[in-house]
Structure 1
Amino acid sequence: MTGSYSQSLVAISLLVAMLASYTALDMAGRLATAEGRVARWWLAGGAAAMGLGIWSMHFIAMLAFKLPIPVGYDLAITLYSLAVSIGASAYALWLVSRPSLPLQRLAAGAVLMGLGIAAMHYLGMAAMRMQPGIDYHPGWFAASIAVAIGAAGAALWIAFRLRVEQRNTVRLRILASLVMGLAIVGMHYTGMAAARFPAGSVCGAVGSGGIDPRWLAVLVIVTTLATLGIALVASLFDRQMRVRTGLLADSLAHANDKLIQAALHDPLTQLPNRMLLQDRIEQAIEKAQRRQQSVAVMFCDLDGFKAVNDAYGHQLGDRLLVAVAQRVGAQLRPQDTLARLGGDEFVIVLAIDAPDDAAVVAERVIAAASEPFVLDAAELQVTASLGIALYPDDAGDERELMAHADAAMYHTKETGRNGYTFFIPSMQLSANRQLRLLQDLRKAIARNELLLHYQPKFPAADAPATGAEALLRWQHPELGLLAPDVFIPIAERSGLILPIGDWVLDQACAQLRAWHDGGHSDWTMAVNLSPLQFASPALLDSVRSVLERHRIDPARLTLEITETTAMKDVEASLAILNDLTAMGVHIAIDDFGTGYSSLLYLKRMPATELKIDRAFVHDLERNDEDAAIVSSIIALGRTLQLQVVAEGVETQAQRDYLSELGCDQLQGYHLGRPMDAEEFLRKVG
C-alpha cells in the first residue's frame, strides 16, 4: 500500500522545524546566561517549546502523508511521543548551556538526543496502531537513526558555537535554524521512507478512541505556533530587559566614574585634589620603601597671581591657572603627580634617587612658569615659589612632608620669591608653630579663648557713634592676644573658619542685643564674612537663626564681604546677596578699590555701603592719585545711593579731608581703637 504527501503540509512542517530550531537557539542563549531558579525556568520553558516544536513538525509531516485508508492516532501513544520529544529537548538545552562542550560529550549527546528524536518519531508511527504492523526497511531504518543522530549533533554544535562566540545575530540564527530544520525534516522523511504498509492494512486507531487527523492538525498547528510564539516573545522581552539593564548599568557606572572624578579631582584644572594627593604621597612612600628610593614633595605657589586676578578678573585668572597646570605638567614624567590644593597652590610628588633630581625638576618648573602667558591678547606674567621636602630625610609620613614643604615654600617667599628652597630643620620651628596653632585653634571655641573687640563707626560730621564693627581676637593661653592675621589664614585653609564665623556672628548679635537693652537701640553691628562662610549653603539659615535668637532687627546688622569675594562668582554672589537683603540685612562691600569690579555688576548688587580700603586713606594728604581714587569712590557711592565708609583714619587731617570729600562714615585709630564691650560702652556710650 503506497501513500502520498500534501505539498503544503510538507512546507508547513519545514517551517515549523525551522521555527522550533530558532526557538531552541534563542533559549540556549538565554539559559547560558541565567542562574539559579531563573535558569531552571528557562530550561523548563525552552524544553517545552523546543520539544513541542519538533513533535508538531513530526505530526504535521504525518498528516501530510495520506494513505488510501482512514487514519487516526492513539492519544496515549501520541502523548508518550510528545514526552520523549520534550525530554530530549531538555537534555539538549542543558548540554549546550554548559561552560564547555568537548568532542566526547558532543558525541554522547548527539547519540542520546538522536535516539530520543527517533524514538519520538517511531512512537508517533506506532500511534496509528496499524494492523498488520508497519514493516520497516532495515537500510532506511538505520539511515533514519543515523540522520537523527547527525541532526542532533549538528544542532548541538551550532547552538553551542553561537553561544560561545556570542554572535547571536538574527541573520546567523536564521541560517542556523534553516540547517537544523532541514536536518530534523530529513530525519523524519527518511524514517517515513523506511515504513512499508502491507496491502489490506487497517488503522486500529480509527473509531476506537483515536484522534481524528483533522482535529489533530488544527490542535497541533495552533498549540505549536502559540507555544513557540509565547517562547519567542518571552525571549524578546528578556532580551530587551537585559539591554535596558545593561544600559542602566553602563549609565550608573558612568555616573559613578563622574562622581569619583569629581570627588578626587579639582573641577577647574582636573588635577588631583587634596584627597587624592594624600593617597598618591602615601603610595609613593610605600614604593620608595620597597625600592630604597626617595620621594620629593614640592609645594608650589604662584607669585603675582592675585595681581592678575584683581586686574583682569577671576575668569581670566582661572584660565591662567589651567594654562599653568598644563605647562607645569609638561615638565613632569607620566609617573609623577601634579595636584592643585586650591587658589594658586600646586603640589608636585616625584620619586627620586638623589636631591639633585628634585632640584632639576624645580628649575624646569620655575622656568616654565616664568614664561609669559598670552590669553585674550593679554600678556600675563607670574613666577613660582617652591618649597621641597624629602622622604625619608625630612619627614616620615605624608602629613609631615606636606607641612615641611609648605614651610620651605614660605621661606622662598620671604627671601625673594621666584625660586626654590629645600627644607632644613630650622624651618621646622615655623612649621611646628603653624601645626600647633591649628591644633590649638580647634579647641579655642570650646575653651572660650576667642573674643570680640569692637571698633566704633562715626559719621563724618562730628556726631556720636552709630555702631561698631566686630573684630575677632584670640587670647592664646601661652602666646597671648593674637590678631586675626596670625590665625585666620590657618582657619581658612583648614575649614575651621566656618564654625568660627558662626560663633562671631552669634556673639556680635548677642552683644548688640545687650546694647539695645541698655538704651542704645539705634546702634548697628557690622560683621565680616570670610569667603568660605559667604559661599556656605548654611549661611542664610545661620543669619536668620541668629537674628531670631537674639531678637535683632535685620536692618541693624551689616554683613561685610570683600570686593574680591563678591566678584569671584558674580551670579552666585548676587543670588546670595539678594536673599540676605530680602531678609532685611544690610550689605557692605569691604576693601573697595583693591579688587576688580565691573560697574555693570556693582549696580546690580544690593549693597548699602562701600568701604574704602585703608591703603588709599593712609597717604591721602600726600598722594594725589589716592585722593583722586577716594574722590571717585565717594562720587560712585553717591551715584549708586550707597553709604561710603572710610577705614584707617589715623589723623585729624585725614578726617577733615574725608569729610570735605563727602564721606558718610569713618573708622580708624584716630576715632577709636578696637576695644572690648565694656570699654566700648564706657568710651562711646
Structure 2
Amino acid sequence: MVQIANRQRQYGVLSLRALLLLFTGSLLVLILLAIFSVTFNTFRDYVSSQHLEHAQDAATATGVALSKAVDASDIVAASSLIDAVFDSGSYLSVKFVGHEGIMLAGRSMPLRTQVAPGWFVQAAKLPKPEGTAQVVRGWAQLGTVQVVSNLGRAYDDLWRITVGLLAAVVVIGGVGMLALWFLLRRLLQPLKALEKQARALSRRDFRERVQVRSTRELNQVTEAMNQMADDLGQLFAGQGKLIQHLRKVNNEDAVTGLASRSAFDQRLKVEVESEEKSAPGVLMLLQLSSFGDYNQSHGREEGDRVLKQVGKIINSFVGKHGGAFAGRRTGAEFAVYLPGASAVDVKVWCEALVETLDGLYSDIAAPIETFVHAGLAIASKEADARDLLAAADSALRTAQQREESCCWIKDAGGNGYHTMETWRDIINDAIRDKHLSLWLQPMVQGPEQELRYYQVFSRICTPEGVLKAGAFVPMAERLGLIADIDRVLVASVLERLECHPNENLAISLGSASVADEMFREDLLAQLSSAGALNRRLWVGISETTLHHHRAQASQLIRALVKLNVPVLVDRFGVGGVPFNYLRNLPLSALRIDNSFVHDLDSHEDNRFWLESVIGIARSRGVKVFATGVERSEEYSVLCKLGIDGAMGYHLGRPFAAEEKSTGE
C-alpha cells in the first residue's frame, strides 16, 4: 500500500516534458507579448505624432488664410473658410475663437470608427491631436484657430495592426509550441524506454534494451543502462546456474541423472514417515547382476553407458506413475518408490519393467550371462524408511537366489490395499457424488507465526474412512481422473472464498490437469467469473509438471497471472527445471519440497542450497515458502534464513474446513 501511495504521488508530479514545455512555452509567449507590446506602443506613438502634426499644419494653414486671404472680421467669410476645411472629413473640430474665449465660427463632430470596436478605443486612448494658430491683422491679434484631427482612421489602423500582430503572435506561438512539443517528445523519448527498462529490471527481466537515440548525454545514460542490464542478467544467470549445479551435486546421480542415494533416502523418509503422506506405497529395489564383470571387461565408460540407458528406462517408468520417484543407490542398484499403489498392481508393473531392462541388458552384455532382479516391500504406518529399505533389500536377495530375471515381493499377503479397479470405483464415486472434503493447513511466517494463507488438501470420504490426498491423488493421476478431482476442488475452494472474505487459500494442481487443454479452459473460465476472489487464491504447479509439460504449464501460468491469480511452483527442488527457465515466468513464489526441509538443522548442503534459493528468489521479487516442518529446530533455521512462510505439523495440523466455519 505504501508503494502504491508513493507511486501515485510520483505520478501527480509534472513530467519533465511538461515542465520543459511549460517553461519554454511561457518564455516564448512572454517574448512574443513583449514584441507585441513594443510594436503596438511604437505604432501608437507614431500615429499620435502624425495626427498631432496634421492638426497643427491644418491650424497654421487656416490661421494664415484668415489673416491674409480672408477678412477675419467678416464672420460669414471666416465661417465659409472653416466649413471648407472641416468638410474634408479629416478633423473632429475646426474652431475660430475670439479673445474672450467666445467661438466666432466653427464646426465639430463626434469620433466615429469603421472597424475598431468601442472597447478598443477606450483601451487604446490616443492623446488628443490638437493644433492651434493665431489670427492677426497687422499688429492686431484677432483670435485663435483650434483644429482637432479626426482619430477615427487612426483607431481603425491601430485596430488592424493590433489584430495582425495578435494573429502573428498566435500563429508563431502555436507553431513554436507545436515544434517544441515534437522536439521534446523526440529528445526525451529515451526516458520512456528507460522507465520501461527500469520496471523490467525491478521484475528481474534483463532482456529489455533501450534502442532509441537522442542527445549525447541521454545516449550515454542509455548505453550505461543497457550495459548494467547485461551485467545483471549475466550475474543472475550465473546464480541460477549455481543453484542448479548445487541441486545436481547434492541430489542427482552424476551418471544416470536419477536422484542420488542420499536424496532418495531423504525423500523416501519424508514420504513414509510424514503423517500426511505416510502409507500406502511400495518400494522397489532393482539390481543388474554381473555388472561388475561387464564393467571390468568392457571398461568404465561402457558401464556408464549401460547405466545411463537403464536410468532413462526407469525415469520413463516413473513418469507414467504420478508421485513416483527413483534413484540410484550404488553400482547397478536402483530404487523406485510408488506412493498410493497396491502390491498387486506394482508387481505387474515391476515384472514389465524387469522384462524391459533384461532385454536391454542381456543384448548389451552378451555373451556374459545376466539377470535383472527386483525386490518389493510394502510401506506401512508401523515401519519407518529404514525398515522399508531393509524389507525391500531382503526381497531383492530372495529374488537373486533364482537363476532368472524376476521380482519378489516381501509379505504380499500383508497388503490388503485397493487395486487399480477398486481405486477407479472409489474416485469415480467421489467425483460423481462430490464426496470431496476440504482440509486446511496454515502457512505461517516469522517467530510470531503470522498466517499467510491456508493450504487446501482434499480428502475422500468412504465407508471405510477418510482417504488422504497422499493416498488417492497418485492413483487419480495414473487413472487419468485427476482433472475431474481438480475441477471439484476448484469449485469448492471458490465457493469457500466467497463465503469467507478474510481467507486466503492455496491449491495444487495435478500434472495431468495442467497438461489437459480442456481442464485449462474450464479452470480459466471458472476464475474469469470469480472476479476479485482470484487475488485470494494461490495456484500451485509442481516443478515436475513444469519439467514434463513446459509449454502447457507456461501458457497456464501467464493466463492465470492475467486474471490476477498468484502462481507458485510447488515441490521446488525435485523437478529438475533450470532456475533460469523459471525466471522467465511471472511467478509469485516457490514452495520448497519437504525433502529439503526434513532435518534441515543437521543437513549443511540443503541449508546452503536453500539459502542460495532464498537470496536469488528475493532479489527477483519471488517469495519462498517451505513445507514439511515437523520440528522446532527446522523452523528456527528457516526463520534465520528469512523464509517467507512455512507449514508443517509443528506449525499447524490440517483440519477440516467445516471445523473453522463452525468455530467462526
* Bigger radius of gyration among the two: 2
TM-score by length of 1: 0.40
TM-score by length of 2: 0.41
